[in-house]
Structure 1
Amino acid sequence: MSILIVDDNKVNLFVIEKILKRAGYNDFVSLTSAREMFNYLDADTPSPKETSVDIILLDIMMPEIDGIEACRRLQEIPHLKDIPVIFVTALEDSNKVAEALDVGGIDYIMKPINKVDLLARIRVGLRLKYEKDWHRKQDEKIRNELDLSMQVQSSLLSEPVETEKLLIKASYLPANKLAGDMYYWHRIDEHRSAIIMLDMMGHGISASLVCMYISSVLRDALRTYTDPVRVITELNRWMNLLNKPESPVHYYFTAISMIIDTENKTVEYVNAGHPPGYALLDGDKVFALSTGCCPVGFFPEMDVKKNTISFEDRIQILLFTDGVMEALEKDDVNGLDKIRSAVSKGWLDCRTSSPIDFLLPSELQRDQPDDMCVVFIQAQ
């Protein structure tokens, strides 16, 4: 524990030092100006070391830089702003004292200094510093755990596919470090590929945890079943194992699951409560992949309906989560109409572009309240 005393009057420094020594506080440093204080704290160092100062006793009336301005500057320095500042002043101007507290001071003591008052305020300040340090360490621990979770979640997403017959790419923009959106694809055989996109209820940590829970089931389901109906039915079974009657929250997700067959030129799909997605067939016909059943996890049993699209030459499909629609609608446009229009423009070159760039300008891709995900598919 270290106390920093800053006062241009050496008599005041002597008095405070005596009080601290008699109370058992021997780790303190006395300075005579705010400039000395900033130098001692490495305030102007680009890569400052962790400070050992636990509390600052700061005089208000000092030449060059007064205590109020010094405290204001401390609050602007990340590694110093959490040090409690107690003002020591002879001023009886309540407006000046209020200003001192407004800039970041936690308390004040009047001169001449009363020993009991000073020690009581120091104890309060030290408790506050301890609590701030504890919360800072906890926050750092949580950030590290979130970073690891983000890496794990990202590793579950599929890599792009680029072959002569098939192109699959995705854009993935979580609102926070962890997201409730997910996509995955699996090559069944030489001609068929299974693809799924899902959007878990909510976003953030809870949605991502449920997302990771379902991811292993999802991978097994896409590898085991060659029918989107079976895939969605299996995922619903697992979601209902999670949704116990006594659970305070009922989790569900929307999804589009499909099988693309480049030999037979077909797309079989199930839309479980998800935004429709759009397909451009043979360069001129736009087809909406409309909802065929309720979201996964709503009910123990689902009446799952499958649809089939046939194409003669080639097909282009754009799947997206509702965060993309909401971002578009901030510009006072209908999100679905905007996406349908982008798809209808013709065969898009996505090999060198991110799929979301076809839908959203860069300024709408940042700082959105919901996760955003776009999957782009071309088959021929």
Structure 2
Amino acid sequence: MEDQLNHAPFGFMTLSEDGLILSINKTLLDILNFSQEQLIEKHVNDIFTVPTKLFYQFYVIPLIKVNKKVEEMYITLKSFGNNEVPVIMNAKFRTSDNKSSIDFALIPIQKRSEYENELLTAKKDAESALHAKHKANAELKIALEHLKAKQEELIELNNQNHQYKVDTITKLEFARKIQETSLADSIQNEHIQIESYYRASSELSGDMYGFYRIDQDRYGIIILDVMGHGVSSALITMSLHSLFQRLISFGNSTEMVMQELDNHLHRLFHNNEDARHYCTAIYLLINTASQQIEFINAGHPPALLQKKDGQQLELNTTSLPLGIFESTKFKAKSFTYNKGDRILLYTDGVTDPLGFNHLKPLLLINKDLPNTRLKELIVHSLNNEQNLQHKSDDQCFLIVDVN
């Protein structure tokens, strides 16, 4: 690295496409209190905080691949002593000698607190000058000018912070639209009718569902709930969505679908226990020709099976949630259904306000209603004024009628 870049007034590093640190300048090493030997050829996650790891993997990398660069992004680094170092990041993708890499310029923004301290100092100086009998007017004028300059700097920093918040809200809204667009549409045919409901508690949701027609007779239906809320859970949910959509659509076995989702979570958080998330899920594979249903319930609230005559059964947990232990084995259970049976799958955001014992009579009393009308009744119950205090969780449910 050239000496001029090595001592530049900003951090600089180059990564491989796999995230390995190929070079890093002395400025950044000094900021993070690392030696070059500690970081060269190490993965960049070693200097990322947990939120930055997720943000980098699910947002920054895809953006670089599309635009070949990113500009003015706020992230936090982690020093040798595990202190957070906020920076503004610019990055650019480049190819040289048939090798691809990513250059990063990282500008620390820790000056705000220093500006505030300087502002307080300047104010005290001004007050002292006013009350000091022997201070000259010239000294007072200088102190006041210094105060004004610091106030202007603080105003500028506040404006930048406000713009960052506005940009973040815009990006979250865009991400929410992408998440909702990925949800499956209703299925209505002579063999099966599926209706769905989905409402996020904030901009982004940790709940997700999908249902797909695999072939003429088979349908795959899944609903899952990632631990937590907000951006991190939503990013994990979207990565699981792309995987289970492919696994189910290709007709993989019930056990393989759940095993691959479990493996994906373990790979995602390998060597990052602090960021680990688990996920509850239930997957149904319905064969309308043999009237057979296979299912696996990985720690999810039990689905309700209501027979045509009104008898109700629960599809209870058959295994631990996804992402808990790598040795977890998933084994499907199966049962035969009759035409006219109904299945309700849901996340705990539905049972928390309504209560599990509210869903059972609601289904039974309205067993002859079409699932579209039953969906309206459940949504109405969720929106009832007496349940408004419970709307802090994502809400999602599926109604499946088999004929």
- The TM tier, using the shorter chain, reads 0.5 to 0.7
| Residue in structure 1 matched with residue 369 of structure 2 by the alignment | 348
Give 1:287's match in structure 2, choosing from 300, 313, 333: 313
Q: Deviations over 1:226-253 (max 9, x none)?
A: 5322211121122211121344222220
Q: Is the 8 A contact 2:371 2:401 kept in 1?
A: no
Name which of structure 1's ranges 251-260 and 352-361 shifts more when overlaid on structure 2: 352-361
Q: Is the 8 A contact 1:186 1:195 kept in 2?
A: yes
Q: What are the within-5 Å matches in structure 2 for residues 51-200 of structure 1?
A: 115=141, 118-200=144-226
| Residue in structure 2 matched with residue 307 of structure 1 by the alignment | 333
Deviation (angstroms), 1:359? 4.6
Work out whether 1:375 is the aligned partner of 2:401: no
Work out whether 1:262 is the aligned partner of 2:283: no
Q: Is the 8 A contact 1:170 1:355 kept in 2?
A: no
Partner Cα separation in structure 1 for residue 368 and residue 230 of structure 2: 35
Alignment TM-score, normalising by the size of structure 2: 0.61
| Residue in structure 1 matched with residue 248 of structure 2 by the alignment | 222
The structure-2 alpha-carbon separation of the partners of 1:173 and 1:356, relative to structure 1 and needing over 3 Å to count, comes to farther
RMSD: 2.6
Partner Cα separation in structure 2 for residue 262 and residue 359 of structure 1: 31
| Residue in structure 1 matched with residue 8 of structure 2 by the alignment | none
Give 1:357's match in structure 2, choosing from 379, 383, 394: 379
| Higher radius of gyration, 1 or 2 | 1
Partner Cα separation in structure 1 for residue 376 and residue 158 of structure 2: 42
Aligned partner of residue 382 in structure 2, secondary structure: coil
Q: Deviations over 1:203-258 (max 9, x none)?
A: 11000111111111111111223532221112112221112134422222000100
Partner Cα separation in structure 1 for residue 316 and residue 388 of structure 2: 25
> Unpaired segments of 5 or more residues in structure 1?
1-107, 329-334
Deviation (angstroms), 1:344? 2.3
Q: Would you identify which runs of 4 or more consecutive aligned residues in structure 1 move more than 6 Å? A: none
Aligned partner of residue 331 in structure 2, secondary structure: coil
Partner Cα separation in structure 1 for residue 388 and residue 144 of structure 2: 53
Partner Cα separation in structure 2 for residue 318 and residue 357 of structure 1: 13
Letter in 1 for 2:184: S
| Residue in structure 2 matched with residue 322 of structure 1 by the alignment | 348
Name which of structure 1's ranges 363-372 and 272-281 shifts more when overlaid on structure 2: 363-372
Aligned partner of residue 304 in structure 1, secondary structure: coil
Q: Is the 8 A contact 2:214 2:251 kept in 1?
A: no
Deviation (angstroms), 1:349? 2.8
Deviation (angstroms), 1:121? 4.4
Deviation (angstroms), 1:358? 6.0
The structure-2 alpha-carbon separation of the partners of 1:144 and 1:361, relative to structure 1 and needing over 3 Å to count, comes to closer
How many residues are matched?
267
Deviation (angstroms), 1:280? 0.6
Work out whether 1:337 is the aligned partner of 2:357: yes
Deviation (angstroms), 1:361? 3.3
| Residue in structure 2 matched with residue 212 of structure 1 by the alignment | 238
Q: Which has the higher helix share?
A: 2
Provide the identity percentage.
Answer: 26
Deviation (angstroms), 1:365? 6.1
Name which of structure 1's ranges 241-250 and 358-367 shifts more when overlaid on structure 2: 358-367
Q: Deviations over 1:109-159 (max 9, x none)?
A: 9x9x97556544433432332122111110111111111211221122101
Aligned partner of residue 177 in structure 1, secondary structure: coil
> Unpaired segments of 5 or more residues in structure 2?
1-125, 131-136
Q: Is the 8 A contact 1:256 1:274 kept in 2?
A: yes
Partner Cα separation in structure 1 for residue 144 and residue 244 of structure 2: 63
Deviation (angstroms), 1:187? 0.2
